[in-house]
Amino acid sequence: MTGRLPTLAGPDPRRRSTAVEQSPHQNVTFPSAGEQAHGYLALPETGRGPGVIVVQEWWGLTDHIRDVADRLAAEGFVALAPDLYGGSITHDAEEAAAMMARLPEEEGARLLGGAVDHLLGHEAVTSATLGAVGFCMGGGFVLALAADQGERIGAAVPFYGVGQGLPDAYQGLRAAVQGHYGRQDRSYPPEKAEALEEQIRRESGAPVVQFHFYDAPHAFHNDENRHNHRPEDARTAWARAVAFLREHVR
């Protein structure tokens, strides 16, 4: 695995909190490597659909991540957002960095692997493969999950995925990959994203690798982030991601 980044863009420099809170969004428990893991599960109105794993940013299982899962459910997917922090959330960048540092990459991979097992075995899931969508720290973990799970992941969609969680190699990756990155991103600059795209093309067995770049900063999709959010770019990226998941998760 690659090393962690020391700093990332905060949700809003005007929004500060020194308290680590508890996420109110846990609504499902599932086994993971002999232990119990938790997360947020969103079902479509039909009650059934293809499955998608949603991987959180370094803030935890926040309102934004719950909303992403709900939006996927509104598009017909069964969406599961595993809680990698065991219920803790924060809106403070220093606390988020500390929480991320306390999450061993192997532990994050184990929890996500359990989520894949749970979702593929869920009675509401109609697909033989899953999609995986992640943001910031979660974007790195999405690519690690796809590399680890092979053909069980049909589509991997990292939004401005950073060094945390990124694997060193992609020989095991079989998913179609669609990345969304900001050209103004100082946490994971576009040249790093371009090098990552080329590495995945070179090493993986991905049938499709397409990275989209936006004239936007880090976390441009996060509408809780008043400083970085770019509504038009976020809408464009979301539409592309949903269409990509529909095409490749079967």
Higher per-residue pLDDT: 6 or 208: 208
Residue 35 reports pLDDT greater than 90:
no
In degrees to the nearest 10, what's the CA dihedral of 172, 109, 146, 235? -160
Kindly report the average pLDDT of the chain as a whole number: 92
**Looking at residues 149-154, what average pLDDT do you find?**
98
Which residue range forms the structural domain that includes residue 235?
Answer: 21-248
33 against 159, higher pLDDT: 159
Residue 3 lies in a domain: no
Residue 16 has pLDDT above 50, yes or no: no
- 4 within some domain: no
What's the pLDDT tens digit per position in 204-227?
999 999 999 999 999 999 999 999
User: What is the CATH number for 28?
Assistant: 3.40.50.1820
Residue 16 lies in a domain: no
Residues 129-142: what's their mean pLDDT?
A: 97
Q: Please check whether residue 7 lies inside any domain of the structure.
A: no
Lowest average pLDDT, out of 122-126, 133-137, 161-165, 233-237, goes to 161-165
Domain total of the chain: 1
125 close to 71: Cβ distance less than 8 angstroms: no
Q: Who's near 53: CB < 8 A, 6+ residues apart?
A: 79, 80, 81, 82, 112, 115, 116, 119, 130, 131, 132, 133, 142, 145
Structure-token match 């090493």, residue found: 203
- Is the pLDDT score of 3 beyond 80? no
Please give the average per-residue pLDDT across 93-99, as a whole number: 94
Domain assignment present for residue 100? The answer is: yes
- On whether the pTM is more than 0.75, the answer is yes
Kindly indicate the confidence band of residue 11, based on its pLDDT and cuts at 50, 70 and 90. Answer: very low
Does residue 152 fall inside a structural domain? yes
Residue 153 maps to a domain = yes
Q: Are 136 and 161 in contact (CB under 8 A)?
A: yes
Higher pLDDT, 144 or 35: 144
Structural domain includes residue 52: yes
pLDDT band at 19 (very low <50, low <70, confident <90, very high): low
| Of residues 14 and 177, more confidently modeled | 177
Residues 6+ positions from 210 with CB-CB distance below 8 Å: 177, 178, 179
